Structure 1
């Protein structure tokens, strides 16, 4: 019998609106996650704690766990807490760091997890990946994606602008990641997934041409939906490939060289611009740059306080961050002198001098 369809892992509920967090107890009951609110609520400092103080009384069986850093050790501490009694589910309230810790612990404890996002900094709110620090650096770990996602626009509006605009950079970087995947398919034969490509590309295109901003609810809804679509793209592909290419290789290299200095989305966007420059896609580069500038995101290394030599070093180190991944960086295999020249052209707004084989 022919296979006529496939099952896709996805949240059973996605709720993006002002006041969404107030309906968390109802969501847990209606979706049969926990009729009595017997859940462990993992919260980040400040906003997460504030939300717990406001709604904790409506979850009489719930207990609170304060997440202190996005580390593998912290995720293990949460997992140990989950094993102390029979919770029905994990609810994570906060930014990406809190959500990643909770996703990892919930997966290891075989419990469903609800993500309550308080900012839109990157696509981790609905992805099957957790980025956690460990004694030897930072790693990306495969996890189950959240069973439900709530984005309360009241809290997103109140978040620092950089933690919202960052999501724009992460989503826009999908356009570069998709090109890297297509390139790898043609050069190395790496399999493609058309549905994952469609989700990733659609997410970016939904955001890139809009002229409104993070001050507008309509834009925030579209951005949140785009981040969810990015998570679904990764779930469909079974890998971060549709949303992570040379852009994120550069991101990981910058993270390693300057830990804690930059926001995820801002360097994902900058990495995507440089990768698009290397491909010679000048019209697309102009549109991407205009979008990032419109949202106050960096478009040159200097915007991050980096000089050309520091950015060049990150580009040279980038392929080593994901040795299993083939992108425009591996394809061109530029040496130090060539890379420095391309960084100079990129900063000056000049066309690439690299030769890219046509696809």
Structure 2
């Protein structure tokens, strides 16, 4: 009888611990990602410069490329520059913008990518998507899953705490996103990938249930692992469905409607997730999520990140237009402006009591 299995697109190595950056060269060699040490390393002009000085002695065969920003043009320029060399792999060393540029550039030149994240702002550090600004606004580009992920908790602790908080909001929003996916299956028969849904949900639940805080290594370990698992879940599903539902629609709406005042991705997604859980009648889950967001210093009300109640209501009403074809609790309820106002008033009262 045949054993039916499937290959899961996932990194060859995931190294999350204090001091991991010091062993980067040996990890790449031991895993045969770069036995020759010929690497193209993409860095930022800020923190990346300091890390280059630290790592350069251990990576004598590397070529270093400073990335100007997080635009499509930046990624194309990086790819064009890397074409002149002969490398085993590309290393994206930095935050989300640097890693996304490196993802796109590595795919363009046909080289594997090693993601070396210096903060935990969102799940893009291991996702099969590069989010880049372009002439039309912002686009998402499909790319291969990173072949390696290295996260040094010592580096993470020295990054601004707002990045950790953003990652928390993004991880917690998985719980709402998977609930939206299940709703789409119940109402429209949309197929759910059970493995992808399980990985994304458990990543969010692990962060939700952990008693630690943003300064604890044990908590940072769980958060980092959760963000990596979320990225892998998207690779399994073939799209962002396991981690993107009404929560991300609200986030995108805030970005589009109020581009000069947008808060961090994770702050907006966390708030959107707590409100979306309230909309689906999950009062206990919404309250718990709000409590955990507060515990970590994230917003639970729009005015905590510079939006009025009316602006938030407008964003919720506009949100379904940001992802045509995606079915979430927002599309299911199809609320009017007044109904959204009433729902928000109920949400605010519920989590304030």
TM-score by length of 1: 0.95
Residue 355 (structure 1) aligns with = none
Looking at structure 2, the residues matched to 81 and 310 of structure 1 have their Cα atoms a distance apart, in angstroms, of 43
Note if contact 1:131-1:140 (Cα within 8 Å) is conserved in structure 2. Answer: yes
Q: Is the 8 A contact 1:36 1:59 kept in 2?
A: no
In 1: Cα distance, 2:332 partner to 2:147 partner? 38
Q: CA deviation at 1:163?
A: 0.4
Q: Which residue of 2 aligns with 1:147?
A: 147
Task: Check conservation: 1:40, 1:62, Cα contact below 8 A.
Answer: yes
Structure 2 match to 1:280: 281
- Asked if 1:242 corresponds to 2:228, the answer is no
Question: Partners in 2 of 1:201 and 1:153 — Cα distance?
Answer: 23
CA distance in 2, matches of 1:26, 1:70: 29
Contact 2:34–2:88 at 8 Å: present in 1 too? Answer: yes
- Equivalent position of 1:335 in the other structure: 336
Q: CA offset at residue 44 of structure 1? A: 2.0
Q: Distance in 1 between matches of 2:309 and 2:33?
A: 51
Q: How far is 1:55 from its partner? A: 0.9
Q: Is the 8 A contact 1:36 1:60 kept in 2?
A: no
Asked if the contact 2:287–2:350 (Cα under 8 Å) also holds between the matched residues in 1, the reply is: no
Q: Which residue of 2 aligns with 1:318?
A: 319
Q: What's the counterpart of residue 68 of structure 2?
A: 68
Offset at 1:337? 2.2
Aligned-partner Cα distance in 1 for 2:71–2:348: 35
Deviation at 1:172, TM superposition (A): 0.5
- Using the TM superposition, name which of 146-155 and 330-339 deviates more: 330-339
Separation in 1 of the partners of 2:96 and 2:117?
Answer: 8
1:218-271: CA deviation from partner (whole Å, max 9, x where unpaired): 111111011111111111111110100000011111111233631111111011
Q: What does 1:1-359 align with in structure 2 at a 5 Å threshold? A: 2=2, 4-259=4-259, 261-349=262-350
| CA deviation profile, 1:41-78 (whole Å, cap 9, x unmatched) | 10123222211111112222211111221111111111
Q: CA deviation at 1:3?
A: 5.4
Mapped to 1, the partners of 2:258 and 2:134 lie a distance apart of 16
CA-CA distance at 1:2 after TM superposition:
4.5
Q: Which segment drifts farther, 220-229 or 329-338?
A: 329-338
CA distance in 2, matches of 1:258, 1:237: 31
The C-alpha deviation readout for 1:146-194, integer Å capped at 9, x for no partner, is: 1000100111000111101111111100010001000001111110111
Contact 2:180 2:245 in 1 (8 A): yes
Gaps of 5+ in 2: none
Asked if 2 retains the 8 angstrom alpha-carbon contact of 1:181 and 1:327, the reply is yes
Runs ≥4 in structure 1, deviation > 6 angstroms? Answer: none
TM-score by length of 2: 0.96
1:135 & 1:157 partners in 2: Cα distance? Answer: 35
Structure 1 position 350, deviation (Å): 7.5
